[in-house]
Amino acid sequence: MNKKTQGNGAVVMLYIGNIKKEKKIAAFLREKGLNIRYIKQGDINKPLNIILGNAGKSGHLKMEEKSPLNYKLPEIIIFSGLSQEELYKLLDEYKDSGLEPVELKAVITPVNITWSLYRLILELEREREEFK
Protein backbone atom coordinates (compact mmCIF):
# COMPACT_ATOMS: atom_id res chain seq x y z
CA MET A 1 0.00 0.00 0.00
CA ASN A 2 2.84 2.40 0.79
CA LYS A 3 4.31 3.63 -2.50
CA LYS A 4 1.20 2.98 -4.58
CA THR A 5 -1.06 4.85 -2.18
CA GLN A 6 1.31 7.76 -1.78
CA GLY A 7 1.70 8.07 -5.53
CA ASN A 8 -2.02 8.31 -6.25
CA GLY A 9 -2.61 11.39 -4.10
CA ALA A 10 -4.39 9.64 -1.24
CA VAL A 11 -5.01 12.01 1.65
CA VAL A 12 -6.49 11.49 5.08
CA MET A 13 -8.06 14.48 6.79
CA LEU A 14 -7.93 14.15 10.52
CA TYR A 15 -9.29 15.82 13.63
CA ILE A 16 -8.62 14.18 16.97
CA GLY A 17 -9.12 16.23 20.12
CA ASN A 18 -6.49 14.29 22.10
CA ILE A 19 -2.92 15.13 20.99
CA LYS A 20 -1.42 11.79 22.09
CA LYS A 21 -4.08 9.83 20.24
CA GLU A 22 -3.72 12.07 17.19
CA LYS A 23 0.06 11.53 17.06
CA LYS A 24 -0.36 7.74 17.23
CA ILE A 25 -3.00 7.74 14.48
CA ALA A 26 -0.94 10.10 12.31
CA ALA A 27 2.17 7.89 12.72
CA PHE A 28 0.13 4.83 11.70
CA LEU A 29 -1.24 6.62 8.61
CA ARG A 30 2.19 7.94 7.57
CA GLU A 31 3.62 4.43 7.96
CA LYS A 32 1.02 3.35 5.39
CA GLY A 33 2.27 6.01 2.97
CA LEU A 34 -0.68 8.36 3.36
CA ASN A 35 -0.57 12.14 3.31
CA ILE A 36 -2.25 13.79 6.27
CA ARG A 37 -4.12 17.06 6.35
CA TYR A 38 -5.06 18.19 9.84
CA ILE A 39 -8.52 19.65 10.29
CA LYS A 40 -8.81 22.66 12.58
CA GLN A 41 -11.84 23.93 14.49
CA GLY A 42 -11.90 26.91 12.11
CA ASP A 43 -12.51 24.53 9.18
CA ILE A 44 -15.98 23.54 10.40
CA ASN A 45 -17.90 25.66 7.87
CA LYS A 46 -15.49 25.25 4.97
CA PRO A 47 -16.28 23.00 2.01
CA LEU A 48 -14.41 19.70 2.11
CA ASN A 49 -12.62 20.36 -1.20
CA ILE A 50 -11.15 23.56 0.27
CA ILE A 51 -9.96 21.75 3.43
CA LEU A 52 -8.50 19.07 1.18
CA GLY A 53 -6.56 21.74 -0.66
CA ASN A 54 -8.44 21.54 -3.95
CA ALA A 55 -9.74 24.78 -5.33
CA GLY A 56 -12.42 24.13 -7.89
CA LYS A 57 -16.13 24.46 -7.35
CA SER A 58 -17.14 25.14 -3.77
CA GLY A 59 -20.70 26.29 -4.21
CA HIS A 60 -22.69 28.42 -1.80
CA LEU A 61 -23.20 27.03 1.69
CA LYS A 62 -26.81 26.82 2.79
CA MET A 63 -27.74 27.89 6.32
CA GLU A 64 -28.23 24.27 7.45
CA GLU A 65 -24.62 23.58 6.46
CA LYS A 66 -23.24 26.12 8.90
CA SER A 67 -22.46 25.14 12.46
CA PRO A 68 -23.96 26.83 15.49
CA LEU A 69 -21.72 29.17 17.46
CA ASN A 70 -19.36 27.33 19.84
CA TYR A 71 -19.86 24.00 18.03
CA LYS A 72 -17.09 21.60 19.07
CA LEU A 73 -15.68 19.34 16.38
CA PRO A 74 -15.99 15.62 17.12
CA GLU A 75 -13.17 13.23 16.30
CA ILE A 76 -13.28 12.42 12.60
CA ILE A 77 -11.19 10.78 9.89
CA ILE A 78 -11.97 11.52 6.23
CA PHE A 79 -10.37 9.46 3.47
CA SER A 80 -9.73 10.72 -0.05
CA GLY A 81 -8.11 9.05 -3.04
CA LEU A 82 -8.14 5.45 -1.81
CA SER A 83 -9.66 2.59 -3.77
CA GLN A 84 -12.30 0.54 -1.98
CA GLU A 85 -9.80 -2.30 -1.61
CA GLU A 86 -7.14 0.02 -0.14
CA LEU A 87 -9.67 1.55 2.25
CA TYR A 88 -10.90 -1.82 3.54
CA LYS A 89 -7.32 -3.04 3.98
CA LEU A 90 -6.38 0.15 5.84
CA LEU A 91 -9.42 -0.07 8.13
CA ASP A 92 -8.64 -3.73 8.92
CA GLU A 93 -5.03 -2.84 9.71
CA TYR A 94 -6.18 0.06 11.88
CA LYS A 95 -8.51 -2.23 13.80
CA ASP A 96 -5.74 -4.82 14.27
CA SER A 97 -3.22 -2.15 15.36
CA GLY A 98 -4.81 -1.65 18.76
CA LEU A 99 -5.21 2.08 18.20
CA GLU A 100 -8.22 3.70 19.86
CA PRO A 101 -11.21 3.84 17.52
CA VAL A 102 -12.51 7.04 15.96
CA GLU A 103 -16.30 6.95 15.65
CA LEU A 104 -16.79 9.22 12.67
CA LYS A 105 -15.19 8.10 9.43
CA ALA A 106 -16.04 9.22 5.92
CA VAL A 107 -14.88 8.95 2.35
CA ILE A 108 -14.80 11.92 -0.02
CA THR A 109 -17.23 11.35 -2.89
CA PRO A 110 -18.29 13.42 -5.89
CA VAL A 111 -21.51 14.15 -3.98
CA ASN A 112 -20.04 15.32 -0.66
CA ILE A 113 -16.83 17.04 -1.80
CA THR A 114 -18.51 20.48 -1.86
CA TRP A 115 -20.34 19.97 1.45
CA SER A 116 -19.19 21.83 4.52
CA LEU A 117 -17.38 19.77 7.13
CA TYR A 118 -20.31 20.48 9.46
CA ARG A 119 -22.84 19.09 6.96
CA LEU A 120 -20.76 15.92 6.57
CA ILE A 121 -20.59 15.47 10.34
CA LEU A 122 -24.37 15.93 10.65
CA GLU A 123 -24.92 13.32 7.93
CA LEU A 124 -22.54 10.84 9.60
CA GLU A 125 -24.23 11.34 12.98
CA ARG A 126 -27.68 10.89 11.41
CA GLU A 127 -26.57 7.66 9.71
CA ARG A 128 -25.06 6.40 12.96
CA GLU A 129 -28.35 6.99 14.77
CA GLU A 130 -30.27 5.11 12.06
CA PHE A 131 -28.08 2.04 12.56
CA LYS A 132 -28.61 1.98 16.34
When pLDDT is averaged across residues 99-127 and rounded to a whole number, the result is 94
Q: What is the pTM of this model?
A: 0.86
- HSE of 129, CA atoms in CB hemisphere, 13 A: 6
Tens digit of each residue's pLDDT (9 = 90 or more) over 51-86: 998 755 555 555 456 888 888 999 999 999 999 999
Residue closest to 54 by CA, chosen among 82, 81, 15 = 81
**What does the alpha-carbon distance between residue 16 and residue 22 come to, in Å, rounded to a whole number?**
5
- Backbone phi, then psi, for 21, in 5-degree steps? -65, -45
The pLDDT > 90 percentage for the chain reads: 73
